[in-house]
Each structure stands twice: as structure tokens, then as C-alpha cells.
Amino acid sequence: MRGIFIGASIGIALVDLDRLIVQGNPSVYRILGYDAEQICAMDIVDDFAHSDDAEPIRNAIDRIINRKRVNTIIECRFLCKTVRGNGFS
């Protein structure tokens, strides 16, 4: 499993119950424009989600935390460091 996590071309992040990134794979660091030290402890919603997608992401995470869902798939937009630095949200 570790090899899949590390070698995946898609970005994968492990997020704790407070929505903070605990660990990411190399692709998520590259896609979002942060290194491992910078990205850990950043909020997956408040720090990366497009403003139109923030509430659906929060709701999906809350359903998992409250055990109303075991897992979920949600399509959303995340903003990389370059875009966030230009005032987009």
C-alpha cells in the first residue's frame, strides 16, 4: 500500500478529524505547490478548497466523522500555492 501511496500520479493526502493534513504523497505536494513541511497541519478546506466547494467538503467530512458514511467521493477544486497567491478563492 505504501508504494501505491508514494508512486501515485494523483495527489493523495491523509487528513485528521480536524481537517488538517497529516501526510501527503509527492504528487499532492507537487500539485498544490508546497513541500511536506509547509503542507502538514494546513486545513484541507480552509487552506486549499475553492470557496464554492468548501461547504460540500465540510459536509462530507462531517458525515464521515459522525459515522453516517464510511467513505465518500466528492469532486472539488483545490487551489495551488501560485493561484492562492494571486488572490483567487
The CATH number of the domain where 44 resides is what?
Answer: 3.30.450.20
CA distance 49 to 43: 9
* Residue 88 is assigned to a structural domain of this protein: no
Split into its structural domains, the chain has a count of: 1
Query: What mean pLDDT comes out for the span 72-83?
Result: 84
Structural domain contains residue 14: yes
DSSP character at residue 19:
S
Task: Write the CB contacts of 12 (distance below 8 Å, at least 6 apart in sequence).
Answer: 5, 24, 25, 27, 28
Contact status, residue 72 vs residue 56, Cβ threshold 8 Å? no
pTM of the model: 0.77
Per the structure, the complete domain to which residue 55 belongs is given by 2-81
Is residue 63 included in any domain, yes or no? Answer: yes
Residue 16 domain flag:
yes
What band does 85 get if pLDDT is binned at 50, 70 and 90?
low
Whether 84 shows a pLDDT value over 80: the answer reads no
Residue 89 lies in a domain: no
Cell triple for 32 = 498544490
pLDDT > 70? residue 86: no
Q: Could you report the per-residue pLDDT of 2-61, keeping only the tens digit for each?
A: 898 899 999 999 998 899 999 999 999 999 999 999 999 899 999 999 999 999 999 998
68 in a structural domain: yes
- One-letter amino acid for residue 60 of the chain: A
Amino acid letter for position 19? R
Residue 60 belongs to some domain of the structure: yes
E strand or H helix at 11: none
